[in-house]
Amino acid sequence: MELEKIRNLSDEELMHQEKTTSEQLFRLRFQVSLGQNDGVKKLRELRREIAQIKTVAKERELGIRGAAKDAAVDAKADAESKKGAR
**What CATH code is carried by the domain that includes residue 69?**
1.10.287.310
Q: What is the 3-state secondary structure (H, E, C) of the chain?
A: CCHHHHHCCCHHHHHHHHHHHHHHHHHHHHHHHHCCCCCHHHHHHHHHHHHHHHHHHHHHHHCHHHHHHHHHHHHHHHHHHHHHHC
The count of structural domains within the chain is 1
Answer yes or no: are the C-beta atoms of 14 and 52 closer than 8 Å. no
Return the pLDDT at 40.
Answer: 87
Residue-wise pLDDT tens digits, 42-81: 999 999 999 999 999 999 999 987 654 544 445 555 666 6
Whole domain around residue 62: which residue ranges? 3-85
Residue-wise pLDDT tens digits, 12-29: 999 999 999 999 999 999
